[in-house]
Amino acid sequence: MDDRRWRDPQWLAWVRDWIDGRLAAVQLDLADDVDDLLALGVPDRRLATLPQAYARIVDAVGADRRFRDAAPMVADLCAELAQYGLPELLQHDDLHDAQVFVRDGRHLIMDWGDACVSHPFLTLSVTLDGGLAWGLDDVRDSVDTTPFRDAYLAPYAERFTGDLVAATRVASRLGWVCRAVNGHVPGDDKQTVTRLRMFLDGRP
């Protein structure tokens, strides 16, 4: 990430722009196409699949006991998030500022290679907690991500009731499970374990 961007108010405005209606609109506009996306081979990381997927990935990387013992927590968080009643949609799973290109006021979100079908809010783990929150000096929570979160949620609030902010708190933690499962590269266990640790520790 080019640190100079964080000194540029216009850049920060652009970042807030793409995390608001643009990302949410892509997700919501494709709501009727989820079955087609799955049929085309987009990975199925819906909440019902994550507990078993978590158990498999923990075994695959030979993670220690504390990761195995966390399996019930994964199931509980999936059940809790499902209770908010939001549809499972296209989820980018690796959205950060380097994936967004701006030209002539237009925003292009790139690199959908890690996309999956899952709870849409899981994308916020990487986007907010793993990216924007660290700011210029790479210090955790040095940037208040609340305005970005609220801008993202606005299109959802127009269609769905319930405590969406509370849903993001669950999703932000559970998103690291999805990222570990979905982004696992055989032979690169270290990165996967790092993401699993982010889930257990509740922070990137």
Whole-number pLDDT of residue 4: 43
Longest dimension (CA), the chain: 52
Whole-number pLDDT of residue 145: 78
Whole-number pLDDT of residue 1: 40
- The pLDDT profile of the chain, 204 residues, written as one tens digit per residue, is 444 444 455 555 655 555 556 788 889 999 999 999 999 999 999 999 999 999 999 999 999 999 999 999 999 999 999 999 999 999 986 676 666 656 676 666 666 768 899 999 998 887 776 666 545 565 566 567 788 888 889 999 999 999 999 999 999 999 999 999 998 988 889 989 999 998 999 876
In angstroms, the CA 148 to CA 168 distance is: 12
Query: Which of these, 204, 154, 169, lies nearest to 27 by C-alpha position?
Result: 154
Cβ neighbors of 111 (< 8 A, separation 6 or more) are 94, 99
> Per CATH, which fold does 3-201 belong to?
Aminoglycoside 3'-phosphotransferase; Chain: A, domain 2 (3.90.1200)
Domain ranges of the chain: 3-201
Cα three-residue angle 22-115-197, rounded to 5 degrees: 110
Whole-number pLDDT of residue 2: 44
